[in-house]
Structures are given as C-alpha cells and as structure tokens.
A and B are shown apart, each in its own frame.
Chain A
Amino acid sequence: MPDSQPAVSLRGVGRRYGERVVLRDVTFDLAMGQTLVVFGPNGAGKTTLLRMLATLLRAHRGEVSVLGRALPDDGYAVRGQIGFLGHEPLLYRELSGRENLRFHARLHGVLATRVDKVLEAVGMAHRADDPVAECSRGMVQRLAVARAVLHEPELLLLDEPLANLDPAAITQVDPLIGAQSGRTRVLTSHDPAAGLAEADLVLGLKGGRAELLAPAADVTTDQIAELYA
C-alpha cells in the first residue's frame, strides 16, 4: 500500500437506524500514522462511526475505505488489521483472561506466546488465570486493551479507551494504544483538553452531522465544548 494513500477515507457516509438518521454525509481522510479524535455528545453517532470502520456495520450511503480497501466488499481483507476497543470488552466472563486471549489468538492466527507478552504489557500477567467475571472494571479494560492489540493491528479504533483505568494503568497501556504506538488511531473522547492533546485531526459530531472537521492545531477547546452545548 503506498504511503500517500489515506488510512481511513469516508465520502458522504450515512447510516440510518430505521427512519432515524444516525450519521449523515460524513467525509474525511485520515493519513497513515495519524490520530483522529471524535468528539460529540451521547447519541451523536461516534460509536456508529467506529463500528462502521470496524466492519461491524455497513454504510447505507457513501463510500468507506479502510487501509486502502473499500468496505464492505473487502471487509475480509481488513479485519485482521483492525484493533477494536468498544464499550464492551468482548471477553467471555466465565473464562480467564488467558483463555479469552488464547481464543482470540487462534481466531487471528497469532502464536500463543504473543498472549503472554501482551498480558505482561498490560500488567495482567498475575491475574491472567482468574475468570474475567472476578476482575474489576479496570482490570477487564486492561484485558480488553490486550485483546485489541493482540494481533498487532495497523489501525486502532478506540471508543473511550481510558474509561475505568487508573493513572498507573493509563501509563502502562500507553505504549500499546497511545500516541507512541505508532499506529493509525481513531478514538472517541468526551474530554476536550486531553482529547485535543492527542489528536492530529478533530471531528466533531452532533446529531450525526460533522459540525467540526479541522487539524487539531486549528481547534480550540471552546469549539469542542460548543458541541456539547
């Protein structure tokens, strides 16, 4: 894939839920290695946008292409290169962290040794054999981070990734999903200052419409706060 090609490219993308429109006419390009932060009040379409990029939802209008592949037709080729971290950890509660990650490793064709490495990296090696149901919210989130980066994805889709994490955990997972990870990232945030600090590009959604789309350098926190007004 040539580097000039955008990692994520949307052209006039829309999505309905029945008769209600949850996303309308969203257009942007995100270059490889850059970070897009999506702001917007609840119900603005942030999660829908992320799920669409993760190939879990298809667009009703417009064109979506991820890592140079058009969705949904080439979804198969993209899937193994996306790390998705949503509100749900996507882990089986009765299985241990290690068992869950082993399962995902097999689905993604990743070696089992990688599981131990990732568990170590998120600081969960000592609790890896407890059922997920017995872990605290923060620990589950750490495991979810481990799951999302297990297969070394090129593109990370993070829906409020730092929710439930304590400061120590945040520093711990930063090399995996933070700016230093070197991966292309799309993340959602409700915190204008912290979100802006991470962003290369800012997208503000309100009622499914792109109210704000600009390089992070040109955006002030007040503009973001306005979205929530």
Chain B
Amino acid sequence: MRGTVAALLAKELALELRTRESVPAMVMFSITTYVIFHFGLDANTVDGDLASGVLWVTLLFAAMLGVNRLFVAEHEQGGFDGFLLAPVDRTAMFVAKAITLFGFLCVVEIVAVPAFALLLLGPPLGQALPGLIVVLLAANIGIAVIGTLVAALAIQTRARDLMVALLALPLLVPVVLGAARATAPLLDHGGAQALPGDWLALLALYDLLFALIAYAIFDFLLED
C-alpha cells in the first residue's frame, strides 16, 4: 500500500510539473477573485468576519478548479485501467489523490494567503499566522477528502464540471463554515484573538468522519 501510494504520488508530481494544469490556474484564480472582491465590495481593506469570508470563499472556489482536474488524466488516458490491472490495493488511489489535492491546496495557499494580506487584508497577517496555518491545514484535509470523493463520483458523468460544483459545495458547507468562523477572530481589526477551539474541533471531527466514509466506499467507484 505504501509503495503504491508513493508510486502514484511520484506520477502525480511528475504530471503536474510537466503540464502545470492545476496549481497555477488555482493561484491565478484566487488572485483574480481578490480583485473582483475589491470592486464588488468597494473596499480597500477588510477585516474580521468579512475578511475570513472573502478568504474562504476564494479558496473554496479555487479548490473546485483542482477538484475538477483531479481525475481527468486517469479518465481520458486510461490511468484507471492501468492502475486496476496492477496487483495493488485500490484504496491507494484514494489516499494518493487526496494527498495530491491536499498538497496542491497547500501550495496554492502559500501564494494566495500572502497575496490576500497584501491586497485586501486590513490587520497585519503576522500575528494571525500560527492560528491561521492550523485552520488552513484542518480545512485542507476536509476539502481534499471530500473533493477526491466528489471528483471520482463526477468523472464518469457527462457534465463533470457542473456535477463537481453541485455535489462538492453543499458537502463542503460545514468545512467552510467551521474554517470561516475559526478564522474570523484571527483577522479581527483589533489584532488577532485566540483561536476558537470549538469550531476547530468541529472541523477536525468532520474531516475524520468523511475521511472514514470516503476510505470505506471509494473502491466501489473504481471497478467496472
């Protein structure tokens, strides 16, 4: 299992480095969205609830781009069959894809969060950063797990892009809710406040439950 996941991850990394299909698009999308928010809200700086909302909505939609592309190469270039022909544990595919998406999200955020601080955020980022990183990681796990499951569900449908959005957004509402509420006090205009533990706990619980569900039923999406 571990060897298989490693092989799949190496392949994902090679593919992304070669094609540069997902991460650059996600980064560009986030930055463009900040600009749109600037005009849409007619605000030069945001803080507190609003800042947290802007950040998470942007990251969520950027994540949707990555989810959309996640299984395209497998589907169109026979990656599924190639994988299914090998004597390996099929759940490895889920683990590898979720880690890939998690990695993509982290890389995107390394650029997109500072860009947010630069372009829109009122209070300084420095103070909020340690807490924010914790929230980002917790939310990324949730998005990666649900995103992978939804991407695999939607890849066989004809209206893939639409299906991904329609399926993933309701399922991710709790993640965004938890993440946004947990982030809001960090970005308060009076300086960063303590990280709210209850929202973070909700986020962690949701991550865990869906990781278990997805892990248990993912195999059924692979076989013919």
Do any beta carbons of A and B sit within 8 angstroms of each other in the complex?
A: yes
Which A positions have Cβ atoms within 8 angstroms of B? 51, 54-58, 76-77, 79-80, 82, 84, 86, 88-95, 99, 103-104, 106-109, 131, 147
Known A-B contacts A92-B73, A99-B14; A80 and B86 likewise in contact (beta carbons under 8 Å): yes
Q: Are B83 and A92 in contact (CB under 8 A)?
A: no
Q: Is the interface of B mostly helix, strand, loop or mixed?
A: helix
19 contacts between A and B (CB under 8 A): A56-B85, A56-B224, A79-B87, A80-B87, A84-B81, A84-B85, A90-B79, A92-B77, A94-B18, A94-B73, A99-B11, A103-B7, A103-B10, A103-B11, A104-B82, A104-B86, A107-B88, A108-B87, A109-B87
Inter-chain CA distance A107–B7, complex, in Å, is 7
CB neighbours (8 Å) of B18 from chain A are 94-95, 131
Could you tell me the distance in whole angstroms from the C-beta of B112 to the nearest C-beta in chain A? 25
B78: CB under 8 A from chain A? yes
Could you tell me the distance in whole angstroms from the C-beta of A23 to the nearest C-beta in chain B? 14
Report, nearest first, the 4 A-B pairs whose CB atoms are least far apart: A106-B7, A80-B87, A90-B78, A107-B86
CB neighbours (8 Å) of B84 from chain A are 55-56, 79
B76 — nearest CB in chain A belongs to which residue? Answer: A93
Partner of B78, one of A54, A79, A88: A88
CB neighbours (8 Å) of B85 from chain A are 54-56, 79, 82, 84, 90
Interface residues on B, range: 20 to 34
Which B positions have Cβ atoms within 8 angstroms of A? 3-4, 6-7, 10-11, 14-15, 18-19, 73, 77-79, 81-88, 223-224
Q: Are B86 and A79 in contact (CB under 8 A)?
A: yes
CB neighbours (8 Å) of A147 from chain B are 82
CB neighbours (8 Å) of B81 from chain A are 56, 84, 86, 88, 90
Known A-B contacts A103-B7, A103-B11, A106-B7; A92 and B86 likewise in contact (beta carbons under 8 Å): no
Partner of B79, one of A57, A80, A92: A92
A147 — nearest CB in chain B belongs to which residue? Answer: B82
Could you tell me the distance in whole angstroms from the C-beta of A78 to the nearest C-beta in chain B? 8
Inter-chain CA distance A140–B3, complex, in Å, is 27
Could you tell me the distance in whole angstroms from the C-beta of B82 to the nearest C-beta in chain A? 4
B86 — nearest CB in chain A belongs to which residue? Answer: A107
Known A-B contacts A57-B224, A107-B7; A94 and B15 likewise in contact (beta carbons under 8 Å): yes
CB neighbours (8 Å) of B3 from chain A are 106, 109
CB neighbours (8 Å) of A95 from chain B are 11, 14-15, 18
Q: Knowing that A79-B87, A92-B79, A131-B18 are A-B contacts, what are 17 other residue pairs whose CB atoms are under 8 Å apart, sorted by A's residue number?
A: A56-B81, A56-B85, A77-B87, A79-B84, A79-B86, A80-B87, A89-B78, A90-B81, A91-B77, A92-B15, A94-B19, A95-B14, A103-B10, A106-B3, A107-B83, A108-B87, A109-B87
